Amino acid sequence: MSDGDAAGKPPTILEKIYVQRQKDVEAAKATPGTRPEELDAYLKMGLAPPLIPLVPRLKRNPSTATARPSLSLMAEIKRASPSKGDIAPFANPAQQALLYAQAGASVISVLTEPTWFKGSLLDMRLARQAVDALPDRPAILRKEFVFAEYQIAEARLWGADTVLLIVAMLAQEQLQRLYAYAVALGMEPLVEVNNAREMARALEVGAKVVGVNNRNLHDFSVDMGTTSALVDMVREKDVLLCALSGIKGPEDVRVYKEQGVNAVLVGESLMRATDTAVFIKKLLEWPDV
Ligand SMILES: O=P(O)(O)OC[C@@H](O)[C@@H](O)c1c[nH]c2ccccc12
């Protein structure tokens, strides 16, 4: 991805994060203990924890048994964001993960980007540990700006069951390579798109779980219709479709459910909820579990 100044334009937030994350990854790769060959060796020795396959996990949720079409929840641990600033900077990821799991989330998404989102791999590990022993625990998603195999290996070793791949920041060949690498490690990635062109690219690599981000990562504008506009592109396909960002209440979820969307990913409104369990139950209109 260009840093934006080639055309004389200021870099977008996505470009800024990408540049910083490249430096962070270089530093981690040069640190004894986390060099790429060390991570590779750990993976080959089978030291990564057991994982949950994403697709079957997404298909099980507390509403599947009812007559309503099923819709799963991906609940996010998000301390801060570049568009909103601090959301819950002192949140306890273990506690939050447990609340999400007990309320029926299929996936727990953990932001691991430190500079703008105040996240870390430790947050992700703590979330995983908190839910690890639960029967039918949620899958853990590393929510990150991924551009290198290294970050996927890191995710797997720190306890992620899957990773996010953002089409907008990857060349097609790179997307293909990272997708294949994640799958080889047992992780079906969540592939994020923002428009029809990106959706076509996600389908071309064979993505089975596609998230449509209602928030444009270049300018932060949110349009809840972004997901709805792309539903038809996957309708007859073996693809699970998730709506990401800006979801605040049951009205949003109801619309997506009627359109055949399979999952919603919710961050900010869950982090701000005073009673997380009650909020989730109302949001998804789930029966008592
Ligand atoms: O807090 P919200 O509006 O519910 O949004 C969550 C999630 O969609 C958002 O955090 C997100 C979607 N794609 C991303 C890529 C990187 C970082 C963050 C994201």
> Separation of 245 CA from ligand 1 center, angstroms?
5
CATH number of this structure's domain 52-284, picked from the four choices 3.40.50.620, 3.20.20.70, 3.50.50.60, 3.40.50.970: 3.20.20.70
Q: Where are the domains of the chain?
A: 52-284
> Separation of 190 CA from ligand 1 center, angstroms?
12
> Separation of 35 CA from ligand 1 center, angstroms?
29
Above 50 in pLDDT, residue 50? yes
For the stretch 254-276, pLDDT in tens is 999 999 999 999 999 999 999 99
CB of 252 sitting under 6 A from ligand 1: no
Ligand 1 nearest atom to the CA of residue 244, by list position: 8
pLDDT band at 288 (very low <50, low <70, confident <90, very high): low
CB of 78 sitting under 6 A from ligand 1: yes
Q: What is the pLDDT of residue 4?
A: 47
Within 8 A by CB and 6+ apart from 22, the residues are 147
Q: What is the pLDDT of residue 9?
A: 81
CA distance 109 to 140: 6
The answer to whether the predicted template modeling score (pTM) of the entire model surpasses 0.90 is yes
Q: What is the pLDDT of residue 264?
A: 98
CB of 163 sitting under 6 A from ligand 1: no
List, as one string, the DSSP characters of the chain.
Answer: ---STTTTPPPPHHHHHHHHHHHHHHHHHTSTTS-HHHHHHHHHTT-SPP---HHHHHH--TTTTSSSPP-EEEEEE-SEETTTEESSTT--HHHHHHHHHHTT-SEEEEE--STTT---HHHHHHHHHHHTTSTTPPEEEEES---SHHHHHHHHHTT-SEEEEEGGGS-HHHHHHHHHHHHHTT--PEEEESSHHHHHHHHHTT-SEEEEESB-TTT--B-THHHHHHGGGGTTSS-EEEEES---SHHHHHHHHHHT--EEEE-HHHHH-SSHHHHHHHHHTPPP-
Ligand 1 nearest atom to the CA of residue 166, by list position: 15
**CA-nearest residue, atom 10 of ligand 1:** 267
Q: What is the pLDDT of residue 287?
A: 74
Above 70 in pLDDT, residue 245? yes
For the complex shown, is ipTM > 0.85?
yes
